[in-house]
Amino acid sequence: MRTILGRAGLIAGAIFLSDACAQAQEWTYEGEEGPEHWGELSEDFAACGAGMMQSPIDLAGVNARGDVMLAMAYGEIGARLPENHHTVQVAVDEGLTVSSAGETFRLLQFHFHTPSEHVFGGASYPMVAHFVHQGEDGQLLVVGVMFEEGEASEQLAAILEAHEDGAEALSVDAAALAPAGAMYRYMGSLTTPPCSEGVHWHVLAEPQSASAAQIAAFEAIMGENARPVQAQNNRLLLGPPD
């Protein structure tokens, strides 16, 4: 990991630009339209500045421990790369789900941030993937997967190749990118405008591997697109058992 400076009516895909108000109002990761000003850019973005359950947070603030029960029914699936100016996003076909507390959430898409948005004692990983799911009632559940520098990932290689070639379709193995394991859990928000709250966050404790070249390639496409860490505000943060 590397150290970084301090940085509910939900609809499908709201986490990145599918919300109409987020499309209409420009926002960035720096300058006058950067994260410190998101809440000022639009009334629809008010939660970005005034919300009390915002994401990301520092996962070192664990105040309870236990096993997080999340059944991940992942596998190989058809996908596409919709245009997105803030991230590399992979929209997937129907068929992959996670289940928690008797409710099933369908995987809609996953996307990337460099560096990771959630941190551990102020330290980030060089990259993270967020797997965005939606339940039948419209609630969102996001699974975060950290990436550390190491061996190259075949799945990331396929995504980067498809992006470079402008491919309209590809196949990805979500289980290879996000294997089930111990995780952190808390209630938070979208990490981009409109910063809507009521999002079920699950962050895998064990990072996956990506080569230095792959991480650099994602950063070259996206730039640094991590929202600064937000206050925990006495929320329950469940961590893996010791």
Q: How many CB atoms lie within 10 A of CB 11?
A: 12
Q: Quick check: is 86 catalytic?
A: yes
Q: Which of 37, 85, 86, 200 is catalytic?
A: 86
CA-to-CA distance for 63 and 59, rounded, in angstroms?
10
Following CA atoms 211, 215, 218, 221 in sequence, which dihedral angle do they give, to the nearest 10 degrees? -120
CA-to-CA distance for 17 and 84, rounded, in angstroms?
8
| Residue given tokens 């309209």 in the structure block | 168
| Residue given tokens 């939900």 in the structure block | 10
Where is 158: in which H helix or E strand? helix 154-165
Residue 11, both tokens? 């609809």
| Residue given tokens 């997080």 in the structure block | 68
Q: Which residues are catalytic?
A: 86
